[in-house]
Amino acid sequence: MELLAYFFIDPMYFVYVGPAMLLGLIAQGMVKSAYARAGKIKASSGLSGAEAAQRILNAFSISDVAIEPASGFLGDHYDPKKKVLRLSKDVYQGRSLASLGIAAHEVGHAIQDAQDYGPLVIRNGLVPMASLGSQLSVGLVFVGLILSYMQMKFGHPVAVAGLGLFGVVVLFQLVNLPVEFNASSRARTILLEQGMVTPQENKMVGKVLNAAAMTYVAATITAIMTMLYYASLVFGRRD
């Protein structure tokens, strides 16, 4: 019971992960703020997010990707398996700079997919193991620590296995960063080159996408610091 209580209320957890979690909250606030500002500015092109997305797909001769409305706030994403671009209602129907920026970012992923962009290929390959790691890693670390506390020899290997699985989650986050940054870079360039936004409007689009990028940075740092914390439990001396 002593180990159970210590594991759940260990103040060192907040020393490791607390600053990263705070950064994540700040990043989320930045996204909402930037989206709210850009969401009030109608794009001079008059295009909706869905129309802009379709225009970009046509420009890159991508004909096998469908565009569908999705539920939820900022639930926009590209599904490489089903070749579907799902845009939240405000982005799908909206004609603001925020709508165009987010739609173009997601189309950026479709372009990456069509061009076999290396980091995206690696990220997609990591998805199964990363999903498994996010589900089982913490439990394995926890069980392994308990077994070690009970003087069972296989406790430590179990904890190390859990740590290894969590390492895949960290690797996924690291690989995801260039994927997301590249998609945003593509989005801004394409919107400007296709005349969907003016240079001045592109600056506002950039603020939205840069704020969104910070959430991925925060998630990556959080994953790294969480892994370091688990490593301190698995390999450190806990008296």
Question: Of 59, 82, 185, which Cα lies nearest the Cα of 67?
Answer: 82
Domain tally for the chain?
1
The rounded distance, in Å, linking the Cα atoms of 135 and 207 is 34
What was the pLDDT predicted at 98?
A: 96
Q: Say what the pLDDT of residue 92 is.
A: 95
Choosing from 51, 106, 180, 201, the catalytic residue is 106
Give residue 82's domain range: 2-235
> DSSP of 96-141, one letter per residue?
BHHHHHHHHHHHHHHHHHHTT-HHHHHHHHHHHHHHHHHHHHHHHH
2 counts as catalytic: no
* Confidence at residue 192, expressed as pLDDT on a 0 to 100 scale: 95
Residue-wise pLDDT tens for the chain (239 aa)? 445 444 556 788 889 999 999 999 999 999 999 999 999 999 999 999 999 999 999 999 999 999 999 887 778 999 999 999 999 999 999 999 999 999 999 999 999 999 999 999 999 999 999 999 999 999 999 999 989 888 888 899 999 999 999 999 999 999 999 999 999 999 999 999 999 999 999 999 999 999 999 999 999 999 999 999 999 999 985 44
**Pairing of the two strands 84-88 and 66-70:** parallel
* Per-residue pLDDT at 72: 76
The DSSP letter of residue 238 is -
